[in-house]
Amino acid sequence: MSPSKKAYAAAGVDIDLGNRVKGTLPKLLASTHRKEVLGKVGGFGGLFAIDVKRHPKPVLVSSVDGVGTKLKIAFAMDRHDTIGQDLVNHCVNDIAVLGAEPLFFLDYLGTGKLEPRVFTDIVRGFAKACAENHCSLIGGETAQMPGFYQAGEYDVSGTIVGVVDKSSMLNGQKHVKRGDVVLGIASSGLHTNGYSLARKIFFDQLMMKPKTWVPDFQNTIGDELLKVHVSYGPLVQRLLRKFHRGSARPVHALAHITGGGFIDNIPRVLPAGCDVVIRKGSWDMLPIFQLIQEQGGVEETELYQVFNMGVGMVVLAAQDQAEAILRFVRKEGHAAWAIGEVTKGSGQSRVV
């Protein structure tokens, strides 16, 4: 077997190295363990037994995503410890809008040459975010594909599976109504969307380098762009436990402000007869978005369709409970504002 292994390694795929690197996984993933996980990492499939006592009518909720060209910033900065967190948190937020609790996560990493340090940093990020979201990392795939990626580059994607009891699912099409208040919860920055345009603005138009210090940020532009995508999953679970009691359901819908910004994401949870009006200037815009707005040369209407502009999640709440919900979100440590309202319309979102 030795000659064939050496030949494969010479061709760019080092199976032995892959096995050695993956041998560190059990220790890295220990913090993500949940009692429902069966078996161990490394099997042909991950095993997870749903607790039907907690969820008598369980509905599985899944999502798959990547982090896009934010990876280019990680490559340029040679920082790989945040990318895994970004991916997990993005996926958690996508299922949180349905009221789902994350159960387990699976990752995919493709690269031309496996670098142990980079691999460990990425997986450590996955594990950190999974532990923070009470979500098990139960499996994944690492592919060595020489000649497929540029030197020093890789791609990551992930799949999350969560659960919500059928009676507790959030359904904006059913519950959103005229007069509801739109609450915006702060983002940490671009999160994982708009990086192709942001890179063009900062590095091509403004001639910055990834390590250019920006006084308004008190940070380099590269580190500012690598700020970790906020997870709203734990907040959403606490919010629903606090306010959804008996027949009371004051949280009518949630929308994750990802690619498509306010314009394309909010309509996904609106009934056909309602619009949402978002009012500019009703929240504290982060300096990075102020710079993009002032010097990017992009039409303002497009900015609100590409970027989150400082708001990563919106809550469409019953008018009589909106202030209480806002106070609760702030008490939980998230900056938040009333940023708009639901009006009569045709299922659209407008920024005015």
Domain boundary, last residue among 106, 141, 168: 168
181 in the same domain as 134 = no
What's residue 25's pLDDT? 76
What's residue 2's pLDDT? 53
185 in the same domain as 152 = no
Per-residue pLDDT of the chain (352 residues; tens, 9 = 90+): 555 557 877 777 787 877 777 777 777 778 888 889 987 777 788 899 998 888 899 999 999 999 999 999 999 999 999 999 999 999 999 999 999 999 999 999 999 998 999 999 999 999 999 999 999 999 889 999 999 999 999 999 999 999 999 999 999 999 999 999 999 999 999 999 999 999 999 999 999 999 999 999 999 999 999 999 999 999 999 999 999 987 889 999 999 999 999 999 999 999 999 999 999 999 999 999 999 999 999 999 999 999 999 999 999 999 999 999 999 999 999 999 999 999 999 999 999 9
Residue 110's φ and ψ, nearest 5 degrees, are: -115, 135
Domain boundary, last residue among 168, 184, 210: 168
Structurally, the chain folds into a number of domains equal to: 2
285 in the same domain as 160 = no
| 25: helix, strand or coil | helix
161 in the same domain as 240 = no
The full DSSP string for 155-220 is EEEEEEEEEEEGGG---HHHH--TTPEEEEEE-SSSTTSSHHHHHIIIIIIS---TT-EETTTTEE
- pTM for the complete prediction? 0.94
CA distances from 168 to 95, 106, 251, 320 (A): 13, 25, 11, 21
344 in the same domain as 299 = yes
164 in the same domain as 177 = no
190 in the same domain as 163 = no
What's residue 31's pLDDT? 84
What's residue 101's pLDDT? 97
By DSSP bridging, strand 251-256 and strand 311-317 are antiparallel
* Residue 215 buriedness (CB in 10 A; 0-12 / 13-18 / 19+): exposed
126 and 105 in contact (C-beta within 8 Å)? yes
Tell me the sheet residues that pair with 336.
Answer: 185
Question: Which CATH number fits the domain that encloses residue 303?
Answer: 3.90.650.10
157 in the same domain as 12 = yes
Domain that holds residue 136: 2-44+52-168
What's residue 3's pLDDT? 54
149 in the same domain as 91 = yes
To which residue do tokens 């909010």 refer? 266
345 in the same domain as 196 = yes
Both structure tokens of 180:
């509801």
What's residue 283's pLDDT? 97
Q: How far apart are CA 113 and CA 145, in angstroms?
A: 7
Q: Which DSSP category does 30 fall into?
A: G
269 in the same domain as 163 = no
38 in the same domain as 158 = yes
What's residue 4's pLDDT? 52
Domain boundary, last residue among 109, 136, 168: 168
Question: Which CATH number fits the domain that encloses residue 115?
Answer: 3.30.1330.10
By DSSP bridging, strand 47-48 and strand 101-111 are unpaired
What's residue 168's pLDDT? 92
